Amino acid sequence: MIIGLTGGIGSGKSTVARAFGERGIGWVDADDVAREVVAPGEPALDAIGEHFGPEVIDQDGSLDRAALRKIIFEAPEQRQWLEQLTHPLIRERIIARLENIQSGPSPYALLVSPLLFESGQAALVDRTLVIDIPTDMQLSRTLERDGVSEANVRAILDAQMSREERCARADDIIDNSRDIAHMQHQVAQLDQHYRERLSS
């Protein structure tokens, strides 16, 4: 069984994934995989450099994410080009990693993805788990964590699926607006629920 874990920016997806990890559950982080496929030496990075020009490549040969983000935010067709290049590569690696987890001791696997629904990655999972917090809390936590401007965070929030729609599409929801103990209690309950589903 594969559980797709998602949530808006600043909702605490990684913290929740680690809480499952402490209970022996393996996970794949789609963001990590997305970074890997455009790492130096990867064919996708060469293609991006050829398409967008040298200004999106840092002096050390790595991708200048800020420069690329600026281009694709301003030109939706360029974003589409980038997604057509990277999404199949990301998907391929995610599937391989999930298969690797499934052949190990973990009773089920998590796919942690901020764009689980938007990217079509929900098709890879059996159940969806949304980490939910109020929008004003997303804003304050992200500002505190990333040290970016409020306008920047609001632009990301606007680009993501609405909180209401995300929750409506979830099989399970964790309310992460309180303390860590409250979150861990919900993780323990869900972990037990998932294990019971597997054994029934």
- Convert the pLDDT of each residue in 6-58 to its tens digit: 999 999 999 999 999 999 999 999 999 999 999 999 999 999 999 999 999 99
- Which of 108, 104, 124 is closest to 116 using CA atoms? 124
The answer to whether the CB of 142 falls within 8 A of the CB of 148 is: yes
Q: Is the pLDDT higher at 74 or at 112?
A: 112
pLDDT band at 154 (very low <50, low <70, confident <90, very high): confident
pLDDT value at 150 more than 90: no
Rounded to whole angstroms, the Cα distance separating 37 from 46 reads 11
- Tokens (6 digits) for 114: 């901020």
Q: What b-and-e string marks burial along 123-152, b requiring 16 or more CB atoms within 10 Å of the CB?
A: ebbebbbbbbbeeeebbebbeeeeeeeeee
pLDDT value at 130 more than 90: yes
pTM (global) more than 0.85 = yes
**β-sheet bridge partners, residue 111:** 4, 28
The answer to whether the CB of 29 falls within 8 A of the CB of 17 is: yes
- Return the SS3 of 173: strand
pLDDT value at 178 more than 90: yes
- Return the SS3 of 121: helix
Tell me the average pLDDT across 96-103. Answer: 96
Lowest mean pLDDT among 12-16, 154-158, 167-171, 176-180: 154-158
Sheet holding 172-175, edge to edge: 26-29, 109-112, 2-6, 127-132, 172-175
- Tokens (6 digits) for 195: 């294990």
Rounded to whole angstroms, the Cα distance separating 163 from 83 reads 23
